[in-house]
Structure 1
């Protein structure tokens, strides 16, 4: 059976519904992929709730990363064949058992990278890549603060940061999450449930502040994140799990001649050559053991709503995947 999980309208997880669909036929430039694993990310909930505008007028299929096996190849496709193991990350459309997708969005999976690892790391791993290499290009010897360090992106970023010689300080909610992040590159962890992260950063850095703050939380952390920066420091805002920072003013940056950026992964992957080079770098780090991918939650694709509930209630750590 070919099926999809669709959002019937904007709202809570209850808007998600399983429906049977026709098996897709790839057109020119496309291949048909049978999904074997699908990643779950906060961006999925942003679209579901309407925080991000819907790209369609009616039902929306969520999901921005997946891995699978090519079952058919359309006209004009080169470099891919039936039976190839592939993965991708593009906005929406992944919560399906089978998908016709443009070949330009795909990367082949090396033998040492499983389908589940690829589905759990494409969006999060490439996000970590552009954060550390393009949004604020970290240098050995610097210190940074990374919010939500026990999340999927945070755990990957912590390991990549330490491999680059950067001192990574993280925040997370609760001792268990802090302990998990501490084993993934973070030299010090701050439990935001019991500690004031701005005060702790001042203590840890002896009042100097950090070179950059990577913030995917938004409304709850934005003002404090700026107060953690040293002069000329950079705030990289790449998410808003607590809601958007609506009170942002350009004059806020004058306190320390700060810089701020709001990057989007899919702007980078649209650049010629970036997708393959970034994926190569990620897979090399995973294959070498420098980055370990933690898949701590697995759900059936039909249970996507349960996965969303756990993600939004902060019950997850690491990566979450759906299995068709």
Structure 2
């Protein structure tokens, strides 16, 4: 029997249960996949606590890497024995498992140069970083990017990618330890938001001009500071809401603060086209394989420790990427 972490009701980390499941054989368009490593993402907590509602009971997790064990009728893009990775949203929910059935469509062939643990730690974060750096804004050398959660999984990849492009990155962090991690991965400057005024410090570091772009994955508690840190006609990119949703926003605020631009992208819309997903995956895998971007896995968990993993994630104890080793 395979094992899977599931929820029967929404709630805190203790809602997560490790259960035995009968996987069965793949149907048309499906594969049976044996996981080697599973990604842990902040978005997983949204499924668990009900922010992203799904029919219950439900599996957890949307990202993993492993080996194809069997293929169903009509599957031609992968074969038994192939090394693959995947990420998605509702179509890949259920990654916290030792083995599963999954549609073949989201699967990405894994280059031999990328290990399973690295893949599980970087597929969602890497593709997110890829669309942020290559699709959201025409970055050029000398631009200034304000990057919240700079010591997180996406933050560390974005910082390294930005350094390759000659972008000045100002990263926000919650501790001095995280500041050291962020600077080691490409941040030009760091701001400890626990005791520094983010917007004022950005203005100081940019001679009063402000940042060209903000990547804000924190949400409620950083939203206003992010707007105040932008230059005139700058771009605010809401990537996530780790501190809670942004409520009651008046668009006139954008005009009052300098004719700012605001977008709230989702990874699903940048990997919906198979060709675009392949392009983004090839670019980020290429950077990692060549050593231009390194993936730091700072936390390893077993599936039975899923509740603790979520506690660590929500208390901001983690840096870099976190995975489950199956």
Query: Does the CA-based 8 Å contact 1:136-1:236 persist in structure 2?
Result: no
Matched residue, 1:21: 21
Q: What secondary structure, in the 3-state scheme, does the structure 1 residue paired with 2:188 have?
A: strand
Matched residue, 1:303: 305
Matched residue, 2:210: 209
- Separation in structure 2 between the aligned mates of residue 109 and residue 90 of structure 1, nearest angstrom: 16
Matched residue, 2:267: 265
Unaligned stretches of 5+ residues in structure 2: none
- Separation in structure 2 between the aligned mates of residue 24 and residue 138 of structure 1, nearest angstrom: 47
Matched residue, 2:38: 38
Query: Does the CA-based 8 Å contact 1:89-1:122 persist in structure 2?
Result: yes
Matched residue, 1:243: 244
Matched residue, 2:281: 279
Query: Does the CA-based 8 Å contact 1:24-1:98 persist in structure 2?
Result: no
Q: What secondary structure, in the 3-state scheme, does the structure 2 residue paired with 1:148 have?
A: coil
Query: Does the CA-based 8 Å contact 2:61-2:96 persist in structure 1?
Result: yes
Q: What secondary structure, in the 3-state scheme, does the structure 1 residue paired with 2:150 have?
A: coil
- Separation in structure 1 between the aligned mates of residue 154 and residue 25 of structure 2, nearest angstrom: 34
- Separation in structure 2 between the aligned mates of residue 77 and residue 47 of structure 1, nearest angstrom: 29
Once the two structures are TM-superposed, the CA of residue 67 in structure 1 deviates from its matched residue by 0.1
Matched residue, 1:4: 4
Once the two structures are TM-superposed, the CA of residue 208 in structure 1 deviates from its matched residue by 0.2
- Separation in structure 2 between the aligned mates of residue 272 and residue 98 of structure 1, nearest angstrom: 25
- Separation in structure 1 between the aligned mates of residue 276 and residue 207 of structure 2, nearest angstrom: 38
Q: Comparing 64-73 with 246-255, which one deviates more in the overlay?
A: 246-255
Matched residue, 1:228: 229
Once the two structures are TM-superposed, the CA of residue 136 in structure 1 deviates from its matched residue by 2.5
- Separation in structure 1 between the aligned mates of residue 101 and residue 279 of structure 2, nearest angstrom: 24
Question: Alignment length, in residue pairs?
Answer: 322
Once the two structures are TM-superposed, the CA of residue 45 in structure 1 deviates from its matched residue by 0.5
Q: What secondary structure, in the 3-state scheme, does the structure 2 residue paired with 1:123 have?
A: helix
Once the two structures are TM-superposed, the CA of residue 64 in structure 1 deviates from its matched residue by 1.4
Once the two structures are TM-superposed, the CA of residue 165 in structure 1 deviates from its matched residue by 1.4
Q: Deviations over 1:282-324 (max 9, x none)?
A: 1100011111001000000111111000000010000000122
Query: Does the CA-based 8 Å contact 1:131-1:137 persist in structure 2?
Result: no
Once the two structures are TM-superposed, the CA of residue 240 in structure 1 deviates from its matched residue by 0.4
Q: What secondary structure, in the 3-state scheme, does the structure 2 residue paired with 1:275 have?
A: helix
Q: What secondary structure, in the 3-state scheme, does the structure 2 residue paired with 1:135 have?
A: coil
Matched residue, 1:69: 67
Q: Deviations over 1:152-179 (max 9, x none)?
A: 0000000001111111110001100000
Once the two structures are TM-superposed, the CA of residue 79 in structure 1 deviates from its matched residue by 2.9
Once the two structures are TM-superposed, the CA of residue 199 in structure 1 deviates from its matched residue by 1.1
Matched residue, 1:196: 197
Unaligned stretches of 5+ residues in structure 1: none
- Separation in structure 2 between the aligned mates of residue 73 and residue 251 of structure 1, nearest angstrom: 53
Query: Does the CA-based 8 Å contact 2:47-2:54 persist in structure 1?
Result: no
- Separation in structure 2 between the aligned mates of residue 213 and residue 115 of structure 1, nearest angstrom: 32
Query: Does the CA-based 8 Å contact 1:172-1:191 persist in structure 2?
Result: yes
Q: Comparing 119-128 with 263-272, which one deviates more in the overlay?
A: 263-272
- Separation in structure 1 between the aligned mates of residue 165 and residue 27 of structure 2, nearest angstrom: 43
Equivalent in 66, 79, 82 of residue 81 of structure 1 = 79
Query: Does the CA-based 8 Å contact 1:14-1:305 persist in structure 2?
Result: yes
Q: Deviations over 1:71-106 (max 9, x none)?
A: 001111113111111000012211111111121111
Q: Comparing 242-251 with 204-213, which one deviates more in the overlay?
A: 242-251
Q: Comparing 96-105 with 224-233, which one deviates more in the overlay?
A: 96-105
Matched residue, 1:117: 118
- Separation in structure 2 between the aligned mates of residue 272 and residue 85 of structure 1, nearest angstrom: 18
